[in-house]
Amino acid sequence: MNTLCPPAKASLKVILLILLIISGCAVVPITDRKQMTLVSDQQMIAMGLTAYNDFISRSIISDDRTNTLLVEKVGRDIVRAVEVYCTEHNISDRISGFDWEFSLVEDKTANAFCLPGGKVVIYTGLLKYTKDGNGLAVVIGHEIAHLIAKHGNERMSQQLLKQFGGLALSLAISKKPQETQNLFNIVYELGSTLGVILPYSRLHELEADKLGLIFMSLAGYDPNASFAFWQRMSETHGSSIPVFLSTHPADSKRMMAIRKAMPEILRYRYLRR
């Protein structure tokens, strides 16, 4: 019986890993940047639903009817814009099987997140920064943009390879479900309960800024409101930095990038009127 010597086995593992990475490539809308996405959309949605149900079971849903309705309205407006954008760019598969849901939870933390499957959560602590519908549209558009750009899948794939190597797909999800779910929670900013939060990279942030503002503009909101929103966030004083700012840092380079992209973004504002 023929057997592979250790070096040959190692080489085979490397080849299989390279093939796995190549087969798991996707392209980011707007930039056409190639990215590694090793986890299937179905698996991401399943983990997203698990994380969302667990989070909601431990949270207090806000009884502020006015702001709850505003979050729902802005969210649905952005979703309609996302559907239009995805249809026109032939990427509707990115939202296939989504069951959109928008929740406002009672929490003084200034934070928000969007999970695979279309589960969007806004913390009441963020409302003092969003102020109105335009401010909410900045946040919701940005968070959904991360989802459409598959930034979470990309980061999840990177962390799976880092922690489990070549076993990322074959064993991690099926044989290590709790470890994989914990990793998912960290990637999607639910890692505070584990003592870990993984911020988005500058590249991801810039991509989500532009794509999110396009969604916002297409939905009829004013993308220029993003400048005031990020200014309010950056003016936070004291030792307690809002979670949203720590994971989505605002700086002058970011504002310059948004200003540079604004003429293109604004063209979408009246596209559907």
Euclidean distance between the first and the last CA atom of the chain, given in angstroms as a whole number: 71
Q: Which of 10, 17, 15, 9 is nearest to 169 (CA)?
A: 17
Decide if 148 contacts 211 (C-beta within 8 A).
yes
Return d(Cα 268, Cα 223) in angstroms, integer.
Answer: 10
* From 88, 143, 154, 189, the catalytic residue: 143
Which phi and psi angles does 19 have, rounded to 5°?
-65, -35
Residue 267: partners with Cβ closer than 8 Å, 6 or more residues away: 217
Triad 174, 99, 211: Cα angle to 5°? 95
Return d(Cα 240, Cα 217) in angstroms, integer.
Answer: 32
Return d(Cα 230, Cα 245) in angstroms, integer.
Answer: 9
Q: Would residue 88 show up in a list of annotated catalytic residues for this protein?
A: no
- Provide the strand spans (E) within the chain: 25-27, 34-36, 101-105, 112-115, 119-123
Q: Copy the structure tokens of residue 77.
A: 């407006």
Active site residues: 143
